[in-house]
A and B are shown apart, each in its own frame.
Chain A
Amino acid sequence: MSLVVKNITKCFSDFAALNDVSFQAEPGEFLALLGPSGSGKTTLLRLLAGLDQPDTGSVEFDGADYLKLSARDRRIGMVFQSYALFRHMTVAQNIAFGLNVRPAKERPSKAEIAATVQRLLKLIQLEDLGKRYPSQLSGGQRQRVALARALAISPRMLLLDEPFGALDALVRKDLRRWLRKIHDETGVTTIFVTHDQEEALDLADRVVVLKDGQIEQIGKPLELYRHPQSAFVFEFLGTSNEVPATVSDGVASFDGFTAPAVSPKALSGAQTVRFRPFDAQLSPTGPGFEAKVLSLLPAGSSLRLELQTPDGKVFETQHAHESEASDLKLGDTVFVRPSKVYVF
C-alpha cells in the first residue's frame, strides 16, 4: 500500500469539511476524488500535499507518518487548478525550479538538470517552447508545463486539483487521454480532484465519491456505475427518474406492471425507486405511466425525450434513433415503462 488515509476529520470554524474519511491508494494507482463543490475533495487533496493539517486522523505513505512532514519535505508533485506557473520564468526554468532549489548536496549538476528538462519537454510534447514564458502559452500548454514541473522533482505521488477545470471542452478530452498516457508511462501514484463524473469515470482506476465531507462510495468506474450504493452516487453519475413503487424480493411493482429492482440494502415495502433514461421502454398502449411528449432532442448517438405525466411529473428517457421513439411527435401520448430500477 503506498498511501493510507485513516479517519481524517477537518473542520473550518464550525463547518466540517471532512468527516472521518479513510481510503487507500495502491502504488501506481490513478485515483479520482469526485464530488460536487463543497464536498471536501479539494480540502482532502490539500491535506495530502501538506498545505493544510487535519484535526484528527492519519496519513501514511510507505509506512511513514506523512503528517509530520512539511509540504516542502513531502516531495509531492502538485498541479494546481490555476497551474501556478512562475510567470517570470521560462517554461524550462519553471520545470527546472524544483531541482534548482534542492540543497547543494542533493542538487543534480547543471547538465543533469538540463537533460531532465529536455526529457520532460519531450514528454509533454513542448520541446520547442522551452524558452517561452507562461503568458505566451495556451491553457492546455500551461497545464502540461505544470505537470512537467511537478514530475521533475521525481515526486512520490502526483496530486492534481481539477486538472481540466480551466480548459474548454475540446482541449479537455485531448488532455485527458494524454494525462492517462503520461501516468501509464511514469507509473506515479496519481490522485486528482474533479467534479465532473464523466472525467472521473473515464480516467481513473478507482473513484472516491465524496459528499458533504464523507465518502459515499469507493470503487472502479464500472462498479460505481453498475452498483451504486446510494441515491447520491446514482444521481451524481447520471440522469435519474424517480417514481414510487412497492418493492419485494428484487421486484418493484407498479400499477399494472413490474420491473426488476436492484437494492444494495435489500429494502422492501413502499419505496421511491429510480431508473436511468436508457432503462425505459415506450409503448403506444401500455402498461406504463401515461405521459405526453414535451421535447425531442438528439443527444449524440441516441434520442432524448422529455415526457410529462398528467400529474406534472417529468421523465427523461433515452432511445436509439431507430426505435419506437423515432416516430413520436411533440404532444403525442405514450406509456413509459422502466425496465430496471434501483432502490436505496
Chain B
Amino acid sequence: MTTDATRDAGAPPFVTEGYKPPKATHKARVLPGFRLSLGITITYLSLIVLIPLAALLARPWEHGLDGVWQAISDPRVVASLRLTFGTAFAAAVVNLFAGLVVAWVLTRYEFPGKSLLDALVDLPFALPTAVAGVSLCSMYAANGWIGSLFAPLGIKIAYTPLGIFVALIFVGLPFIVRSVQPVLAEFDAEVEEAAQTLGASPMQTAIRVILPSLLPALLTGFSLAFARAVGEYGSVIFIAGNMPFVSEITPLLIVIKLEEFDYAGAAAVAVAMLALSFLSLLVINGIQLLLSKRGRA
C-alpha cells in the first residue's frame, strides 16, 4: 500500500513503498509547455500580425520614394491628416478634463445610481462603432435631438469637423476614466491627511497633492484615447460628411484609395498615419518618463 500515512508500530516508515523510479528524463524547465506555447504564440502572431503588417510596410515603395512622397504630400491627404490628428488631440484634451471629473466623482463620492454610472463609462467600449456612428449622426443632424438645438444658432455639428470632434469625445472617454480611476482609488489617504494637517485647503490638496500623482495615469489615458481617436472609423464616418479637404478623415481616405485599386497610395497613407501616431505616442511616453524620473510615477 502506497498511501499509508501514519506509521504502524514496527513497520518501516511510510516512505517510498511501491515507488519505482521512472525512466530518467532531464528537464531544464520545471513547468512544461514552453515549446508548445511559444510555438503557438510566434506562429499566430506572425501569421495574423507580422506578415500582414510587413505587406503594408512593403507596399508603398512600388513607385519609388517619389511615389510615396507624392502620395502623402497630396494636399487632400495632408488636409485629412491634419483633421484626423487635430480632432483626435482636441477630443483627448476635452476627455482629459471630463474623464478626470467622472473618475473623481466615481471614487470619492457615494450617491444613488453610482454603479450604473460606473457601468455606463464602458458603454463606448461595448457599443459597436457603427451603432454609435449612426446614432450620433442622427442626434447631431439639423433635425436631431441635439442638432436641432444648435441649428437655429447657425451652428452645424453633423457633417462638419465639429461632428468628428463630438464623436471622438464619445469614443475616448472610457480610456481616461479607466486609467485614472484605479490610481485615485488607491491613493494613500494619509498623504492627503498630512496635507490637511499642514494647513492645505481641500482644493489645494486636490491640485497640489493628488493631481500631480495622477499625471502619469492621465497621460496614459490620454495616449490611449488619442491613439484610438486617430484610427477611429465606424463612429466617425457617418457624422463626418466626408467632404474632401474639409471633413474627410485619413482612415476613410485610405479606404477610398483602396477602392480605386490604388494599393500603393493607400498603403503609403496608412504607413504615414501609423508613423505619425507612433511618433505622438513616443512623445507622450517621453513626457511620462520625464515625470517618473521626477519621482511622481
* A contacts B: CB pair < 8 Å: yes
Q: Give Cα A99–Cα B25 distance, bound, in whole angstroms.
A: 21
A115 within 8 A of B: yes
Give the total of A residues in contact with B, Cβ under 8 Å: 34
Evaluate contact between B3 and A113: CB separation under 8 angstroms: yes
**If the complex has contacts A51-B30, A187-B13, are A116 and B5 also in contact, measured as CB distance less than 8 A?**
yes
Give residues 8-40 of B contacting A (CB, 8 Å).
Answer: 12-19, 21-22, 24-28, 30
Q: Which residues of A lie under 8 Å from residue B7 when comparing CB positions?
A: 185-187
* Count, A-B residue pairs, CB within 8 A: 76
A–B Cβ pairs within 8 angstroms, 22 of them: A28-B13, A53-B26, A53-B28, A68-B26, A69-B24, A70-B25, A70-B30, A73-B21, A108-B2, A108-B3, A115-B3, A119-B5, A123-B5, A152-B5, A154-B15, A155-B16, A185-B7, A187-B7, A187-B12, A187-B13, A187-B15, A189-B15
A sample of 11 more A-B contacts (CB under 8 A), given A28-B13, A123-B5, A186-B7, is A69-B22, A71-B30, A106-B2, A119-B5, A119-B6, A123-B6, A154-B4, A156-B15, A186-B5, A186-B14, A187-B12
Which B residues, 27 to 61, have Cβ-Cβ distances below 8 Å to chain A?
A: 27-28, 30
Write out the residue numbers on chain A whose beta carbons fall within 8 Å of the beta carbon of B24.
Answer: 65, 68-69
In the bound complex, residues from chain B placing their C-beta under 8 Å from that of A53 are 26, 28
Known: A64-B21, A65-B24, A68-B24. A156 touches B16 (CB 8 A): yes
Cβ–Cβ < 8 Å partners of B14 in chain A: 154, 186-188
Which of A69, A120, A122, A156 is the most central at the interface, judged by chain B CB atoms within 10 Å of its CB?
A69
Main SS class of interface, B: loop
Interface of A is mostly: loop
Q: Which residue in chain B gives the minimum CB-CB distance to A64?
A: B21
Q: Are A75 and B3 in contact (CB under 8 A)?
A: no
Chain A residues with CB under 8 Å of chain B are 28, 50-51, 53, 64-65, 67-71, 73, 75, 99, 106, 108, 112-113, 115-116, 119-120, 122-123, 151-152, 154-156, 185-189
A185–B15 touching, CB < 8 Å: no
B6: chain A residues within 8 A (beta carbon): 119, 122-123, 185-186
Q: Are B5 and A75 in contact (CB under 8 A)?
A: no
- Collect the chain A residues with CB atoms within 8 Å of residue B15's CB: 154-156, 186-189
CB within 8 A of B21: which of A28, A69, A108, A152?
A69
Q: How far is the CA of A113 from the CA of B1 in the complex (A)?
A: 11
**Contact mask B68-110 → A, CB, 8 Å, 1/0?**
0000000000000000000000000000000000000000000
| Whole-angstrom CA separation of A173 from B38 in the bound complex | 46
- Measured between C-beta atoms, what is the minimum distance from B233 to chain A in Å? 42
B3 touches A70 (CB 8 A): no
